[in-house]
Structure 1
Amino acid sequence: MNFLERITGSDMNREMKSFELRVKNLPADYQAAWKKINQNIWVHGDFSGRNLMPILESVLELLEVTAADGQPIEEVLGDDIQGFTSAITGHSGAKTYRDRWRYQLNRNVAKKLGGLK
């Protein structure tokens, strides 16, 4: 990835388009689940969202394999897709911008109160 791709995000756009092409080959219920996961996952991203790309790749691979095996989507992801999304991002170490801001705020307050040097 070169500097221009990193700045413009064209590398991520290209990767998301390839994900969407792969999703079109999945059954309809899997496509709906992917859409829900995609809607819920972005709050766990960093400023650019690049930290979520490997997670999305892994989730898509999981959906492709389980669809090929003929498993129902409820058996794979459960009933709570938002909970599933939170779990996969939490275990992967992805932090939200709110987590970073909270950490910075707490650190600045501690500095002002003399707790940190």
Structure 2
Amino acid sequence: MSIRDIIEGKNEWRAHVARVKALPQDYQIVYKEIQKYLFKVGPVELTEMTGLLSGIVDLFEEGAASGKSVLEMTGNDVAAFCDELIKDSKTYANIYQESVDQDVHKAMKKVTDKK
């Protein structure tokens, strides 16, 4: 990644943040919770995350422009809304689950090998 790519990425992120700040307060609150949720469990690929967040802002801008409440856009279960958005993506939760499964299988193999 070149310096130019980094600078362009920062500029894009600043523009994204400005769009979020232009949303009504209720939309901003829900967006920030979605962002936190997705950063914890969301897609492994950063490029997917950037496009996903931009798409959420697009959706929220449309909803706000049409006078809808933010929960009309997401539903009351915002975590389920997020899960639906990332259902086909490899997530950090998937990686952790795979790690736990591998650790259990290794431990069980050691136990059965001793018998």
Under a length normalisation based on structure 1, what TM-score does the superposition of the two structures give?
0.71
Aligned mates of 1:81, 1:66 — CA distance in 2 = 15
Counterparts of 1:1-117 in structure 2 under 5 Å? Answer: 3-5=1-3, 10-43=7-40, 44-46=42-44, 49-90=46-87, 93-100=88-95
Query: Which has the greater radius of gyration?
Result: 2
- Identical-residue share of aligned pairs (%): 24
Deviation at 1:24, TM superposition (A): 1.4
Q: Are the structure 2 counterparts of residues 82 and 10 from structure 1 closer, same or farther at C-alpha, using a change threshold of 3 Å?
A: farther
Please tell me the residue identity of whatever aligns with 1:4.
S
Aligned mates of 1:72, 1:56 — CA distance in 2 = 19
Deviation at 1:50, TM superposition (A): 2.1
Structure 1: 5+ residue stretches without partners: none
Give the aligned CA root-mean-square deviation in angstroms. Answer: 2.8
Please tell me the residue identity of whatever aligns with 1:96.
T
Q: Are the structure 2 counterparts of residues 98 and 37 from structure 1 closer, same or farther at C-alpha, using a change threshold of 3 Å?
A: closer
Aligned mates of 1:41, 1:57 — CA distance in 2 = 13
Deviation at 1:82, TM superposition (A): 1.4
Structure 2: 5+ residue stretches without partners: 110-115
Cα deviations by residue, 1:50-75 (Å, 9 ceiling, x for unpaired): 22111111111000011000001111
